[in-house]
Structure 1
Amino acid sequence: MVDEPSPRRSDATRAAILEAARRRFAADGFRRATIRAIAADAAIDPSMVMRYYGSKDGLFAAAVDVALDLPDLGAADPDTVGELLVRQFLALWEGPPTGEILLTLLRSAVADDAVIEKIRQVFAGQVTPAVLRFGSPADAARRAGLVVSQLLGLALTRYVLRLPPVVALTPADVVEQIAPTVQRYLAGG
C-alpha cells in the first residue's frame, strides 16, 4: 500500500511549489523557468511538482490564476468609476500575492507569445463584463480594451521598466493622473 501524504503536508507542499513558481516565473519568465529550478527553490524533488501540477503549463496556470475583484461598476457613482478602477488596480499590483502574479503575467507575456492568451483571459475576460455595466454595451469591448491598454501601460512603466518618474508617483498621484483617462474610456468619449 502506498502512503498518501497527509492533507496538511500536501497543502504545504502545494503552497511551497506555487510560491517558488511565482518567484521563478516572475524572475525568468515562462520559457526560461524550469521545473528543476522551481523544485530546487521549493526544496523538493522535481517529481513532486509534476505530481501536483502535471506539467509546466499546469503549474504556470495555477501560479498565475488571479481574480481582479473589480468593483460593481453598475452600483457605483458614474462619475467615480475611473477612480474606483485605478484604486483597485493599485491595490492589486502593490499587494501580495496578486502583484507578484500580475508581474509574472506581464513579464512573461513581453517575452513569450504563449502567455498572451492568459493575459487576454485575465484582463479582457474580467474587465469587459465590468465595463458592460457602465455605458453602452455596443462598444463595451472597445472601451474595455482601452482601459486595459491604459492600466497595462501603467503596469509596464511602473512595475516592469520601473521608470523613475512613474515609480515616484504616490498612489494618490497615480489616481489623480490616470483616473480621468480611464473615466473617459469608460464613458465612451
Structure 2
Amino acid sequence: MNGRTTDAPATAVPDAGTGRDAILRAARRAFAFRPYAEVTLRGIAADAGVSASLIVKHFSTKERLFNTVADFGPAADLLLAAPLDTLGRHLVLTLVRNRREQQGDLLLRVVFSLGDDDERTLLRERFDQQITRRLAALLTGRDRALRAELIAGQLLGLGAVQSLYRTGAVTHATPEGIADLYAPAIQRLIDG
C-alpha cells in the first residue's frame, strides 16, 4: 500500500449501470478475506463481472479502491440519521433494507478484517472511528463508549444472521417485523 492509506476515498455516486456497485461489493469481499498484497484489480474485476479497466476508470488505483472500501463514513451517515429516541429502530430498518436493496451489508466487512495486516488494522480503526466513536458521541449518560461498542456488536450480529440464514425466516420476515423484535434491545443500550 506504499504507506499512503490516508488518500481521500473516491466520491460515492449512484451506480447508474456503470458497474461501480458490483466493483465495490467484489472489492469488499476481496479486501476482507485476503491480504492487500494478494488482491488484484483483475481478480476483483472477474468477481464483479467487469473489466479491470473499468475499475481504473472509477477508482484510478487499487489503493484508492481500498480507501473507498475502508470508508465507513457513508454507512454512518445512513445509520445515524435519526433522533436518539427512535435510533434503535432506524438502525435495524436501515441495515435490513440496505441489505435487501443493495445485496450487501453496510458494516459486516469489518468482521472479516481480523488479520494483522496493516490494511486490515486500518479497516478496524476506521470502523471504530467512523461508526463506534461517532455513535458514542451521540449517546448521553454513563458508559457511552461501552454502550456504543455493544450496539455495534448487535448490528454486526444482525448482519451475520442475515448472511447465515439466507433462506431462513429472517429472509422472509419484513424489515418492520425484524425491527419489532430486534430494535428494543438496541434502543435500551441507546437510552442507557
Report if TM-score (shorter chain) is over 0.5: yes
Q: CA deviation at 1:94?
A: 3.0
Distance 1:174 1:24 in 2: 29
Aligned CA-pair RMSD: 3.6
Aligned residue among 173, 177, 184 for 2:177:
173
TM-score, length-scaled by structure 2: 0.64
Tell me the amino acid that sits aligned with residue 60 of structure 2: Y
Listed one character per residue, the Cα deviations across residues 3-62 of structure 1 (whole Å, up to 9, x for unaligned) are xxxxxxxxx9xx65673353254378541643222345432459948x911x4x442222
Superposed, 1:8-87 pairs within 5 Å as: 16=19, 19-23=22-26, 25-26=28-29, 29-31=32-34, 33-40=39-46, 41-44=49-52, 48=56, 52-53=60-61, 55=62, 57-66=63-72, 67-68=74-75, 69=77, 70-72=79-81, 76=83, 78=85, 80-87=86-93
Listed one character per residue, the Cα deviations across residues 130-186 of structure 1 (whole Å, up to 9, x for unaligned) are 3433321x4111011010111101101112553723333321121011111001111
CA change 1:175–1:39 in 2 (3 A) is closer
List alignment gaps of at least 5 residues for structure 2: 1-14
SS at match of 2:148: helix
Q: Would the aligned equivalents of 1:25 and 1:108 in 2 still touch at CA under 8 Å?
A: no
Aligned residue among 129, 132, 150 for 2:134:
129
SS at match of 1:65: coil
Q: Would the aligned equivalents of 1:82 and 1:186 in 2 still touch at CA under 8 Å?
A: yes
Identity of aligned residues (%): 24
Q: CA deviation at 1:120?
A: 4.4
TM-score, length-scaled by structure 1: 0.65
Listed one character per residue, the Cα deviations across residues 86-138 of structure 1 (whole Å, up to 9, x for unaligned) are 22232333332xx536377256436x5543541442355234323433321x4
Distance 2:55 2:99 in 1: 32
Distance 1:28 1:160 in 2: 20
Q: What is residue 12 of structure 2 aligned with on the other side? A: none
Distance 2:93 2:111 in 1: 22
Distance 2:121 2:165 in 1: 19
Q: CA deviation at 1:71?
A: 3.6
Distance 2:88 2:109 in 1: 23
List alignment gaps of at least 5 residues for structure 1: 1-11
Of Structure 1 and Structure 2, the greater helix share is in: 1
1:187 maps to 2:179: no
Tell me the amino acid that sits aligned with residue 128 of structure 1: R
